[in-house]
Each structure stands twice: as C-alpha cells, then as structure tokens.
Amino acid sequence: MLLLYRPDGDALSVQAAHGYNLAKLDQLRIAPGEARCGRAFQTNKPDLYSSPEAIAAAAENMTLTNAQIVRAATAGLDEPQSAVCIPLISGETKVGVLMLENLRAANSFTPSNLPFLQTVADLVALSVESARLRAEIQSAQALSEANRLKAELISTLAHEMRTPLTSIKGYSTALLMEEVTFDSETRQEFLQFIDEECDVLQTLIHDLLESSIIDAGLLKLEFQPVQLPRLAKTAMDDIARRAETHSFLLDFPERFPIVDADPDRIMQVLRNLLDNSVKYSPDGGLIVVRGEVLEDEVVVSVADQGVGLTPEHLNRLFEKFFRAKSLLDRHVVGSGLGLPISRTIVESHGGRIWAESQVGEGTKLYFSLPLDGPSQELAGQEVPLHV
C-alpha cells in the first residue's frame, strides 16, 4: 500500500494498493504518529512487525473512523502475519509511507529484508517527488502562458477599441465644427462611418461579456426545433452585406433534418465562423456554407479560399485567449474570442467543432449537432448568392 502525505490536511492518504478494496480506502486519513504508517512517517524510520499481535498493538491508537474504514477494506482477507512500514523520503522532503503486509507466516518479513525494501522505498520516493515537481512545473508554465495570453488579449482589445473610438471622435468633432459646413451627402457619409465604428465597438464588448458569462458558467440555452439552412442563409446574408469582395454559396441537401438547438446561439456560431472566413480571405473569393447529414449528427462547414493556417495555429485555433498570428500583411480586426465562444456553445449542445487548413489553400471550419430521435425534414435547395 502506498500512502502519500497531504500537507493541506496534515495526513497520509492512500494513493495505490494491491489486494485491498481501494474504493473503501478513499476516505482513510492517517495522522502522523497514528498506527503503523503514521509512526513510520513521524519517526523517519522503518518499522518491522513480525507477528499478528505486534500489528494489532500498533493499531491501538488508530481513530475509530479509520479503524472502521480499514475493517471494511480488508473484509474477507486473511489476517496479516507480518508487516513492514518504510517512510518515503526524497532529500529532506517527507513524501509518504510504503506499507507491505505478508499473509503467510512461512514468508514473514525479517530484518534481513529491510535493506532491499529500503532501496525500493527510496526509488518510489524519488519517482513520487519527480512526478510532483513535474506537475508543479507544468502548472506554473500553464499559469504563465495564461497570464501572457490575457495580457496580450488586453493589449489587443485596447488597440481594437482605440481604432474605432479615434474614428468616431474624428468624424463627430468634424460634424460639430461651426466654422465648417458640410453638404448633406458628406454629413451622411460621416454618420455612416460613425455608425459602422459603433458596430465594431459593440461586437468587441459583446464578445467580452459573452466570455465572462461562459467563465462564470452562466451560459443558458433555450432549445427548440431549428431549421439550420434558414439560419445559415440569414447569417450568410448578414455577412455578405459587409463583404464586398466575396461571393457566397449556400449548399444544403434538398431535405435537411430539423435539429433541437438554441437558434440564437447557433446563429452566433454561424456568424462567428463566417466572419472568421471573411477576415482571413482579404482578397475575396468564394465562401461556401455546406450542410451534411451523417448517421447520428448533422455537420455544417464554412470554407474559404484565404491564406490558411499553420499546423501550430490550427491546433490552438479554438483556445481561449489564443489569437492566431495573421499571415496577412494587414491588421485583422477582432477580439479573437469569437471561435472560443463558438466552441463552448457547440459543445454545450453536445456537438463538436474543428477546423482543417493548409497555408495558401484556405481554411474549412466545421461544427456538428446531434440528431436525437426521429427528425422532421424540410425542403431546401442549393442557393447561390453573389455579392
């Protein structure tokens, strides 16, 4: 039996055991000095028990709760005839205790066994401490990376917000200048710019709020029958109005199943995927939104003819706080939160989200939604849309 020390509870707990009911031992907490294992841990010395009577005597100071747990875990087993408890020490760090019991009197532990068992215990202690240090290093690295990405995100958002605010300030200041008179067409153009930049700010703030809602575990879904082709068409039309250099194609089977989903949230996913495709295909080209029906799910994909992604960026595309470095010469507007938010929405529906991409050949984003039970079908057709 391997027991490791937990500083937070100042007790030994079972981490591994052979021949015992491990599930029953889950709540066992041995204090330093308590029973055989606690004594070995406290004294830093191995203890050898060569008879059942010696084993029983060592357990006299065990708490009632622990005694009941041990009886339940050893029910049906023969009484141990001998035992040895060896403290696990790595350098100056107490790691835990290794306890061995022998159920056969003929093979009882003797003092001559202790050197070998001590060597085994030292190796176990080294392995346990190495694993702990590796876990601490990985945790520190993960925290450092998260902090770096958060700082990068804050810097990015500050820049993203400053750009539209500068435009809004400039155009509004110009309109308020008493010494300059603008014709109605110019005034309308300035107001249009202000309106568009306000939309950019609204999107950034919306993404931040959505991210906060998700972090707090407050994402709520309202499921109802949804016609994905109609949602996709609406999302595509909305994006197409702002993507003057792109052509769009909607391609769903003629009869496509109705799915149970939150229409507003799935619309949000579709817009995020389409928006991403437009941003990373600045030279225009065709964007195809396609639906497929598989055995137990439907899959929607959004494919562009843009710059594509490197394997490194592709693997982290849906990570929170990760923003892919653009392969473009120009700045790409956005918070970098749209795809992580989409991932949470899709997975909350029981679906999957993923991407395929090659540098120079574009990117294809996918998400799936499960089909539960008999589904209704609706008429649909391939709808080309050129803008």
- Asked whether residue 322 carries a pLDDT value surpassing 70, the answer given is no
pLDDT of residue 123: 93
User: How many Å apart are CA 387 and CA 247, to the nearest integer?
Assistant: 6
Residue 312, both tokens? 């490194």
Residue where the block lists tokens 């089977």: 253
User: How many Å apart are CA 260 and CA 332, to the nearest integer?
Assistant: 34
Please say whether the beta carbons of 43 and 49 come within 8 A: no
- Asked whether residue 327 carries a pLDDT value surpassing 60, the answer given is no
pLDDT of residue 199: 83
pLDDT of residue 108: 87
- 119 band by pLDDT with thresholds 50, 70 and 90: very high
Dihedral in degrees, nearest 10, Cα atoms 324, 330, 334, 335: 50
Q: Where are the domains of the chain?
A: 2-109, 139-215, 224-386
Q: Which of 50-54, 207-211, 224-228 has the lowest average pLDDT?
A: 207-211
Residue 347's CB is within 10 A of a number of other CB atoms, namely 13
Nearest to 346 by CA among 234, 235, 221: 221
pLDDT of residue 157: 73
Percent of the chain with pLDDT over 90: 55
β 285-293/246-251 pair status: parallel
For residues 106-114, average pLDDT: 89
pLDDT of residue 384: 40
- Asked whether residue 383 carries a pLDDT value surpassing 50, the answer given is no
pLDDT of residue 334: 58
Q: List pLDDT tens digits, range 280-317.
A: 888 889 999 999 999 899 999 999 998 888 888 888 88
- 243 band by pLDDT with thresholds 50, 70 and 90: confident
- Asked whether residue 346 carries a pLDDT value surpassing 70, the answer given is yes
CATH number of 224-386: 3.30.565.10
Nearest to 124 by CA among 86, 81, 150, 78: 86
Q: Which CATH number fits domain 2-109: 3.30.450.40, 3.40.50.920, 3.30.530.20, 2.60.34.10?
A: 3.30.450.40
Q: Which of 84-98, 263-277, 321-335 has the lowest average pLDDT?
A: 321-335
What are the residues whose beta carbons fall under 8 Å from the beta carbon of 147, sequence distance 6 or more?
none
- Asked whether residue 124 carries a pLDDT value surpassing 70, the answer given is yes
Q: List pLDDT tens digits, range 8-52.
A: 889 999 999 988 888 889 999 999 999 999 999 999 999 999 999
pLDDT of residue 385: 39
User: How many Å apart are CA 270 and CA 352, to the nearest integer?
Assistant: 14
pLDDT of residue 331: 47
Percent of the chain with pLDDT over 70: 91
For residues 263-282, average pLDDT: 92
pLDDT of residue 185: 93
What architecture (CATH level 2) is domain 139-215?
A: Orthogonal Bundle (1.10)
**More confident: 18 or 152:** 18
- Asked whether residue 264 carries a pLDDT value surpassing 90, the answer given is yes
User: How many Å apart are CA 69 and CA 25, to the nearest integer?
Assistant: 6
